Amino acid sequence: NGTCAEGGVSYGSKYLPCELGSGSGNSSLAGSTAGGGIVVMGSMEHPLASLSVEGSVRADGGSYQEDSSKDYVAANSLKGSLGGGSGGTLLLFLKTVVVGHNATLTSIGGNGGPLGGGGGGGGRVHFHWSDIPTGDLYQPIATVKGSIVTRGGSGGNQGYAGENGTLTGKACPKGLYGTFCEECPPGTFKNVTGSDESLCQHCPRLELPHRAMYVTVRGGVTETPCPYKCISDRYHMPHCYTALEELIYTFGGPWWFGLLLVGLLILLALVLSVARMRFVGVDELPGPAPTQHGSQIDHSFPFLESLNEVLETNRAEESQSHVHRMYFMGPNTFADPWHLPHSPPGQLKEIGRAS
């Protein structure tokens, strides 16, 4: 009968770890595996100004070696294999870090033996940042192009894998989140200290105009309202309105602007009506009205042509005769105004010849 061992678990503080990885078996057993060690760089009082990693920094647990031991027989006579060692600790006190393309930082659990040995638990990697810049002074504190791994080891032949370890950083100030204290994504803000991504809360949608989009702010957004910009230069801050919309809302919105516009149109109509009445009244005053020979007469308003206009004479050829009183019939409307024919009646022509 065989047995399958459970994988190892991670242990110790993930925010300030200082634990060796545990091994499997003991020194009297061949094939025992060792746990990962502790790597500490810098200190709280004297952090590293900068760390550049181009190779490997490891605190891995040992894996079962087939060629170094025989199968382990437990005291209860159940046949099995030794498990993998758990990962250790990488504790880094520093201000900035650069992990190159081919560089690795690992605290991996070891693999278990082939006869049901469990994998070792992953270790801890912690970056304890010093003097994180905020606001307009913010600068990225980490450039990671390589890999940082804290996974658990694999189990052998139905043995269980070890629990994954942790990758953590010092709690980030407001506006920043994550292991490397990056700016919260556009459209979110963070007004508390901490590193969890869930602390970056979504900005209230009601505060964002429908023609706007959120923008990134250096150092992250710490309070609402969240900064935004209009989606096009056609629109103007802060409401992202067009010029016409700004005019409309200056007067209280569409309803009030519509009422104001109707009022102005009514007032304009009244002014034009009064002006027309005065213009027509002046036109109807008695007296000679000189015209040029061949001139066109405007028939757009009801009017009464003078005798000079009928005779098509100019001021120098004004008639020496005049009519004392004349009576006109008709409604005098736009459709049928009072008028005299352009050719004078025969009676008037005889009077003209007699004079």
Mind spelling out the 3-state secondary structure of the chain? CECCCCCCCCCCCCCCCCCCCCCECCCCCCCCECCCCEEEECCCCCCECCEEECCEEECCCCCCCHHHCCCEECCCCCEECCCCCCCCEEEEEECCEEECCCCEEECCCCCCCCCCCCCCCCCEEEEEECCCCCHHHCCCCEEECCEEECCCCCCCCCCCCCCCCEEEECCCCCCEECCCCEECCCCEECCCCCCCHHHCEECCHHHCCCCEEECCCCCCCCCCCCCEEECCCCCECCCCECHHHHHHHHCCCHHHHHHHHHHHHHHHHHHHHHHHHHHHHHHCCCCCCCCCCCCCCCCCCCCCCCHHHHHCCCHHHCCCCCCCCCCCCCCCCCCCCCCCCCCCCHHHHHHHHHC
Which pLDDT score, from 0 to 100, does residue 301 have? 47
Task: Work out the angle between the directed axes of helices 254-283 and 243-250 (0-180°, nearest 10).
Answer: 90
Which pLDDT score, from 0 to 100, does residue 58 have? 96
- Total residue count of the chain as it appears in this document: 355
Write the pLDDT tens digit of every residue in 33-47. 889 999 999 999 999
Whether residue 279 is predicted with pLDDT greater than 80 in this model: the reply is no
Whether residue 180 is predicted with pLDDT greater than 90 in this model: the reply is yes
Whether residue 169 is predicted with pLDDT greater than 50 in this model: the reply is yes
**Torsion region of 77: left, alpha or beta (phi above 0 gives left; psi -120 to 50 gives alpha):** left
- Match 């005049």 to its residue by tokens: 322
Mean pLDDT, range 107-120, rounded to an integer = 87
All structural domains of the chain with their residue ranges: 38-170, 183-243, 284-354
Radius of gyration of the chain (CA): 49
Which pLDDT score, from 0 to 100, does residue 77 have? 39
The backbone torsions φ and ψ at residue 41, rounded to the nearest 5 degrees and listed phi first, read: -125, 130
What one-letter code names the amino acid at 146? Answer: G
Write the pLDDT tens digit of every residue in 228-273. 999 999 999 999 999 998 888 888 888 998 999 999 999 999 999 8
Out of 11-25, 177-191, 305-319, give the one with best mean pLDDT: 177-191
β-strands 182-183, 176-177: how paired? antiparallel
Return the minimum-mean-pLDDT range out of 60-64, 171-175, 185-189: 60-64
Structure tokens that stand for 163 in this block: 């629990």
The backbone torsions φ and ψ at residue 125, rounded to the nearest 5 degrees and listed phi first, read: -125, 125
Structure tokens that stand for 118 in this block: 């469990």
- Match 């450039």 to its residue by tokens: 143
Query: Degrees (nearest 5) of the Cα angle 332, 338, 343?
Result: 160
**Which residues are within 8 A (CB) of 136 and not within 5 positions of it... i.e. 6 or more apart?**
218, 219
